[in-house]
Structure 1
Amino acid sequence: MRNNRFAINTVVGIVLSLFTFNGVQAAATPETEAVIHSERPAVEVMFVLDTTSSMTGLIAAAKDKIWSIANTLASADPAPEIRMGLVGYRDRGDVYVTVYTPLSSDLDAVYAQLMQFEAVGGGDAPESVNQALAEAVNRPQWSRGDAVYRVIFLVGDAPPKMNYQDDVKYPLSCTKAARKGIVINTIQCGNMSGTRSVWQEIAQRGEGRYFQVAQSGSAVLYDTPYDEPIARLSRTLDDTRIYYGDAAHHEEMESRKETADAIYSEASPAAVAKRTIFNSKSAGAKNFYGSQELVQAVESGEKKLAEIPKEQLPAKLQSMSDKELAAHIAKRGEERKALQAQIDDLAKKRQDYIQAKVVAEKDKGAGSLDSKIYECIQAQAAPKGLQYTEGPAY
């Protein structure tokens, strides 16, 4: 059922993407979401990822590294709000041209889409880079505010196809990005002829950085003895969540639970462990709680039980007395604290284990994808008041 659900979501995304951009200029597509004004520090990242067959290694690495990147972003002082999104691209004539996933604090949903990407198609070198970049600039709900670090990472190995008459060419997208305060960094995988000069130009026009990595992505991947225990505790911790609200909200949150279940079934223990560690940080609270989570709302004082109509509670709690309900919520809260304490202890041991590896293999990480992305984030987020000093998370 889980795989079928994700397959349906992927097909829907493909159909919508083809419908929206088949013969229509991407720059003419209006921003479909309302503007958000952010008063607190925030990081918003769109990954624009070539998903053709030559990118097999990089896509496999990305499925593991996205939670590492999230943890790197969360390590800033002060801790920012984090939103991510994706544009996967191929070329016209492939199964899809682009698949778009909006910017969201629901990183589970973004990760679920990333898990569906498979490296297929391509083969004729130039790809629909122009269309993918135009989508990344124009479609997301980018926040406004001086404290928001807005960034695009364009990742691929082939140059853009420049002979589509109805395409929006990358110079225009770069100009619009600069106008919106969006930095564009380019990551060239491999050394295909003709890619370097264009990738460098896009980075220059996008006021970002260009760097090159091996075709596989040169990501540093560490498995630890603590990954599986953290993953087991994480599943139990997720089960402590109780949502309240109308029927539509319960359905939305049930979908969130199904997404988490699919991650536990399909992701590696290392990826689940990194997701769990991210969720335990203040920057990951929105990903863990979602919205209108009862235990958090009551314990934080955000809501009083008396303010919540019984019909907005899960069906199995509606027959409880106020005293029984309060006791049930308190019990869940205590369970959550105990689980989180165990996770925190294992997370520290995991970090110590990895740190020893990093020190022993320091040359391995120097030119890695992890280090290059960290260098971009560290330099570009500083003017927004975000200080990164801990190095990349693994």
Structure 2
Amino acid sequence: MKHINQLLGTAFALMVTASSYACNLKAQESTNTTLITSTVAEKPAKQYVKIALLLDTSNSMDGLINQAKAQLWDIVNEFTHAKCGNDSRPLLQIALYEYGNDNLSAREGYIRQVLGFSDDLDEISEKLFSLTTNGGEEYCGEVIHTSLKQLEWGKNADDLKMIFIAGNEPFDQGKLNYKDATTNAKEKDVIVNTIFCGNYEQGINTHWKSGAILTGGDYMAIDHNRQVVHIATPYDDIIIQLNAKLNNTYVSYGSVGYAKKELQAVQDANAAELEEAVVVKRAVSKSSRLYKNSQWDLVDAVEDDEAVLSKLDEKDLPSELKGKSKKEITEYISLKKEEREKIQKEIQELNSKREMYIAEHQKEEAGELENAMLSAIKAQASKKNYKWD
């Protein structure tokens, strides 16, 4: 990528990694003195994968919403293995819009931002489960334009910025021309991918393919009502049990800590309502680097910044840590971190066996929506030197 190449070209003998600083120490000797200059390089700018999901929530879209709920975790798990061109790991952010629902404001074009860009996986799950369907007007051009205007897309040319819009009505409905919206997207380096829920040729005839190719995106047609068949494996129950143990390693703190810990449990329950396999996939996501909760969990917070403990008031601590010395709190957090890492490693190892079992018993388990999104993501990511290990 061009930014990485520039960085390497100007920082002679500097090794860039995703998680550490490097120093370029250069010694110059003269007859009488030795001059040593040191330069501490800044960490490379974080790279993001930013995905905005624009979902039609009119009456006929219940199947689409259910697929999104179930397959969120497959998409997250896939990104666990993504690497940027400099071998760093990109951060994943997801935003969510709904459109085409009579319960939404006509003045706003029957469009609502459900969630701005977020890396809080529990919050993303919560918002997906909050969606309900109702008849309405579906204005694709307007919802694309709105997401481009409202979201913080950033200006890093190395970020992968994508819109996935899914629906089943003509793409050219509404006052705002979809061609103008996609032109705006292209100017912001945002790729628009369109997912027509219905017959492939019908989607082409109603401009869904045109809406994608204008930004170099992919056009896809899916059966949004297809029931995804999950393969049960001998490892599922063990992973679910480990997930419960994993939850016990979270140490909530601050004003939002208790509510966020409750949300974690609620989203586990929401996954269980769909199917046991969804709980397993969510547990795998929770064992990955993308499940970070520094804003409410002391283990993650201390890992990010050890000084956080000295900044906390007694009232911000959970009951089990009130009245404890800083040393006792530090030891407690360290033990929880060690316990968590052990559980996460077990889940990852079991998931590797689980994936092998699924591969042996069925060639493909992925759902329609997931297949469509991952195919587009990998193809478009490769153009920015992203890769998977």
Q: Deviations over 1:325-365 (max 9, x none)?
A: 2332233233323322332332222222222234xx35x86
What is the alpha-carbon distance in structure 2 between the residues aligned to residue 252 and residue 305 of structure 1?
16
Matches within 5 A, 1:66-105: 66-77=72-83, 78=87, 79-91=89-101, 93-94=102-103, 97-100=110-113, 101-105=115-119
Distance 2:227 2:158 in 1: 31
Contact 2:233–2:358 (Cα < 8 Å) also in 1: yes
Q: Distance in 2 between matches of 1:60 and 1:292?
A: 29
- Unmatched tracts of structure 2, length 5 or more: 1-43
Percent identical = 28
Contact 2:191 2:216 in 1 (8 A): yes
1:143-292 matched pairs, under 5 angstroms: 143-160=154-171, 162=173, 164=174, 167-191=175-199, 195-197=203-205, 198-216=207-225, 221-244=230-253, 250-268=254-272, 269-282=276-289, 284-286=290-292, 289-291=293-295
Match of residue 14 from structure 2 = none
CA distance in 1, matches of 2:304, 2:198: 53
Range moving further from structure 2, 149-158 or 49-58: 49-58
**CA separation in 1, counterparts of 2:218 and 2:264?**
34
Partner of 1:3 in structure 2?
none
Question: What residue identity is the alignment partner of 2:76?
Answer: A
Match of 1:172, as an amino acid? D
Given that 1:41 and 1:385 are in contact with CA atoms closer than 8 Å, whether structure 2 keeps it comes out as no
2:376 matches 1:376: yes
How far 1:94 moved relative to its partner? Answer: 4.2
* Structure with greater helix percent: 1
Q: Assess if the C-alpha contact under 8 Å between 2:294 and 2:300 holds in 1.
A: no
How far off its partner does 1:315 sit?
A: 4.7
Give 1:46's match in structure 2, choosing from 47, 52, 71: 52
2:70 is matched with which residue?
Answer: 64
| Residues 1:388 and 1:251: Cα distance change in structure 2 (over 3 Å) | same
| Shift of residue 368, structure 1, vs aligned partner | 4.4
Match of 2:359 in 1: 355
Q: Which has the higher contact order (CA 8 A, sep 6+)?
A: 1
Aligned partner of 1:295 in structure 2 is 299
CA distance in 1, matches of 2:279, 2:219: 30
Question: Are 1:140 and 2:154 counterparts?
Answer: no
SS where residue 358 of structure 2 aligns? helix
CA contact (8 A) 2:198 2:223 kept: yes
Q: How many Å separate the matches in 1 of 2:201 and 2:103?
A: 22
**Alignment check: 8 A CA contact 1:220 1:370 kept:** no
Deviation digits for residues 14-36 of structure 1, max 9, x if unmatched?
Answer: xxxxxxxxxxxxxxxxxxxxxxx
Unaligned runs of 5+ in 1: 1-37, 245-249, 390-394
Q: Is the 8 A contact 2:250 2:299 kept in 1?
A: yes
CA shift digits 1:107-156 (9 cap, x unpaired): 2111111112233324xxx6232332222222111132122100011111
The TM-score with structure 2 as length reference comes to 0.76
Paired residue total: 333
2-structure distance, mates of 1:338, 1:327: 17
Counterpart contact for 1:63–1:114, Cα < 8 Å? yes
Whether contact under 8 Å (2:172, 2:178) holds in the other structure is no
Partner residue of 2:123 out of 109, 125, 129: 109
2:23 corresponds in structure 1 to none
SS at match of 1:267: helix
**Cα offset, 1:75, TM superposition:** 1.9
Aligned to 1:384, the other structure's residue is in SS state coil
Deviation at 1:209, TM superposition (A): 1.1
Pairwise CA RMSD of aligned residues? Answer: 2.9
**SS of corresponding position for 2:347:** helix
The question of whether the paired residues in 2 share the 8 Å contact of 1:57 and 1:215 is answered with yes
CA contact (8 A) 2:288 2:344 kept: no
Q: Report the Cα distance in structure 2 between the residues aligned to 1:305 and 1:208, rounded to whole angstroms.
A: 43
Give the letter for the 1:184 counterpart: V
- Closer, same or farther: CA 334–90 of 1 in aligned 2, 3 Å: same
User: Partner of 1:147: helix, strand, or coil?
Assistant: coil
CA distance in 2, matches of 1:103, 1:241: 24
Question: Is the counterpart of residue 307 in structure 1 residue 310 in structure 2?
Answer: yes
Contact 1:177 1:206 in 2 (8 A): yes
What displacement does 1:223 show?
A: 4.0
Q: Distance in 1 between matches of 2:227 and 2:379?
A: 21
CA distance in 2, matches of 1:327, 1:230: 27
Q: Distance in 1 between matches of 2:187 and 2:227?
A: 32
Q: Distance in 1 between matches of 2:98 and 2:226?
A: 16
